[in-house]
Structure 1
Amino acid sequence: MLLTMLMQAVAATSVDLSVLAAIGAGLAAIGAGLAAIGAGIGIGKIGGSAMDAIARQPEAGGDIRMSMIIAAALVEGVALFAVVVCFLAL
């Protein structure tokens, strides 16, 4: 719906499409940056929580560490996918 409204506005005002392309490229770069920042925050929280859990139960350190690595890999995969999508939008 938003895209339809934007296309109607462009058709009505005859805006130079290179300006809209530059705006879209800028938004895609911002999106890639936000994806990287979000992944960093998420992995930091995972690591911090895992260290707290290992401090509370040192005997479960191996299981907690393995779960932490799997969760961090999933977050990193989603962030990589988001960055690739943002760069494809360029």
Structure 2
Amino acid sequence: MRMFLKVQMEVDAANRAIKDGSLPKIVQGFMEAAKPEGVWFTALDGKRTMVAVFDLASPAQMPPLAEPFFTGLNATFELSPAMDAADLQTGLSNL
């Protein structure tokens, strides 16, 4: 299922991760594991934020994807199902 992910990194933990080089490794690990359709980086609510869209084949993928962000960046990890325009059209046609 296509998922929308928002990761918000705690500022001090992200600062340390930048200094020690672990932030790019955590992001790269996510990229290799999730193979996202797209990933974007911004600041939201004063925090470094990553948003991504990717296919979640199984809920069992959630812990390995989330834990590096939790443990390495003290981040929040919000995951929601998402539709593209074609999915929306299909869903609306089924009403």
Settle same-fold status: TM greater than 0.5. Answer: no
**More strand, by proportion:** 2
Richer in helix (by share): 1
TM-score of the aligned structures, taking structure 2 as reference length: 0.31
